[in-house]
Amino acid sequence: MRPRIAFLGLGLMGAPMARRLAEAGTDLVVWNRSREKTVPFRNIARIAETPMAAARETDAVFLCLTDADAVEAVVLGPAGLAEAGQLKRIVDFSTISPDRTRIIAARIAEATRAAWIDAPVSGGVPGAEQGTLTIMAGGVAADVEAVRPLVAPLCARFTHMGPVGAGQVTKLVNQIISGCTIAVVAEAIAFAEAAGIDATCLTEALAGGFADSAPFRLFAPRMAARDYSRPIGSSRLMLKDLDAVLEAGRKVDAVLPMSSLAAELYRATARYGLADSDIAALIEVLSGDAGKRN
């Protein structure tokens, strides 16, 4: 029998993830706040009018939403999951704060008895399209294992990190490393260009050395070419995550100077109208090109 999954949220990451589930033979029902994003799914999934309607009689509900407010609205708002009756498991691929995760999980468990698995993802749009995402999960071990075969078409790695909220904490660790690294790559490209080096040659020149990394290989060519087509992610979303890092860090007295500086660099993209462009557009801020736009 095919697994029955409701997928809520068909944005930059959610749409390719839902498509992969449909291609894997899942009995899929989808919902999105803006209905036009459901149009490409009409031939491969059922379209629901509300989160509540999407969730009924499913083996699991998958969420991929922008932020904690969106998650709370879909889960606890009018015609939300809390009104769907008894649910089995909810897997949240969104990146939100660990505290909000625990609060929402407790409230939906009280309303529907649903188990919550926070399962934020890493790998960007390419990983979502290719089914090679890295997923870090928080929740009861038995529930995490129950959804493991359901998320298999989406990921190359699915790691149980601990109780509810642990997945989100792990994603914040990921965002410290990736957010700061992307900012450093932008700084390096800007320096190379200012010093007269052909920055388009850097990925080949530094391949295999200590400076090499997946973010470097992915973003350095895009930054050097000023190629922001086929967005991988936006500065706005990275800033949201780094602000969540800083908020969580204050609660545990963590020292986060690199994250603080990186957050301010991403914040600067908004001043130049680049917050929703591909994250590679951060090079415009570091190189000084962004100021020439105004």
> Quick check: is 171 catalytic?
yes
CATH number, position 227: 1.10.1040.10
Average pLDDT over residues 193-212: 97
Assess whether 52 and 184 both reside in one domain.
no
pTM of the model: 0.92
- Note whether 27 and 120 are same-domain residues: yes
Residue 193 banded pLDDT, cuts 50, 70, 90: very high
Verify that 61 and 203 share a domain, yes or no: no
Please give the share of the chain, as a percent, with pLDDT higher than 90: 93
23/154 same-domain check: yes
Instruction: Give the tens place of pLDDT for each residue, 108-132.
Output: 999 999 999 999 999 989 999 999 9
Q: Which residues of 253-272 are buried (b: 16+ CB within 10 A; e: fewer)?
A: eeebebbeebbebbbbbeeb
Of 144, 162, 180, the one marking the end of a domain is 162
Average pLDDT (90-108) is 97
Asked if residue 214 and residue 79 are part of one domain, the reply reads: no
Span 236-246, average pLDDT: 94
Phi, psi of 162 (to 5 degrees): 145, -160
20 and 154 in contact (C-beta within 8 Å)?
A: yes
CATH at 13? 3.40.50.720
Is residue 243's pLDDT more than 60?
yes
Q: Is the pLDDT of residue 136 over 80?
A: yes
Task: Print the SS3 string covering the chain.
Answer: CCCEEEEECCCCCHHHHHHHHHHCCCEEEEECCCHHHHHHHCCCCEECCCHHHHHCCCCEEEECCCCHHHHHHHHHCCCCHHHCCCCCEEEECCCCCHHHHHHHHHHHHHHHCCEEEECCEECHHHHHHHCCEEEEEECCHHHHHHHHHHHHHHEEEEEEEECCCHHHHHHHHHHHHHHHHHHHHHHHHHHHHHCCCCHHHHHHHHCCCCCCCHHHHHHHHHHHHCCCCCCCCEHHHHHHHHHHHHHHHHHCCCCCHHHHHHHHHHHHHHHCCCCCCEHHHHHHHHHCCHHHHC
Q: Given a cut of 90, is residue 289 above it in pLDDT?
A: no
pLDDT value at 230 more than 90: no
Q: What is the pLDDT of residue 44?
A: 96
Check pLDDT > 60 for residue 204. Answer: yes
Q: Say whether both 247 and 177 belong to one domain.
A: yes
Nearest C-alpha neighbor of 125 from the set 231, 275, 279, 10: 231
Catalytic residue of the set 171, 240, 251, 292: 171
Residues near 209 by Cβ (< 8 Å), separated by ≥ 6? none
Q: In this structure, are 208 and 181 located in the same domain?
A: yes
Distance CA 35, CA 16 (A): 16
pLDDT at residue 262 greater than cutoff 80: yes
Q: Are residues 86 and 157 in the same domain?
A: yes
Average pLDDT for the chain: 95
User: Exposure of 35 by Cβ count < 10 A (0-12 exposed, 13-18 middle, 19+ buried)?
Assistant: exposed
What pLDDT, on a 0 to 100 scale, did the predictor assign at position 291?
Answer: 66
The total of structural domains in the chain comes to 2
Residues 95 and 209 in one domain: no
Q: What percent of the chain has pLDDT over 70?
A: 99
In this prediction, residues 200-223 reach a mean pLDDT of 96
Q: Is 211 found in the same domain as 120?
A: no
| Last residue of one domain, picked from the residues 124, 147, 162 | 162
**Shared-domain flag, residues 193 and 246:** yes
Q: Which of 162, 185, 208 is the last residue of a domain?
A: 162
User: Domain check: are 85 and 148 in the same one?
Assistant: yes
Residues contacting residue 165 through CB under 8 Å, at least 6 positions apart: 98, 99, 101, 102, 105, 118, 138
- Residue 109 burial class via C-beta count within 10 angstroms: exposed 0-12, middle 13-18, buried 19 and up: middle
Q: List the domain range (segments joined by +) for residue 24.
A: 4-162
- pLDDT recorded at residue 1: 78
DSSP bridge partners of 278: 234
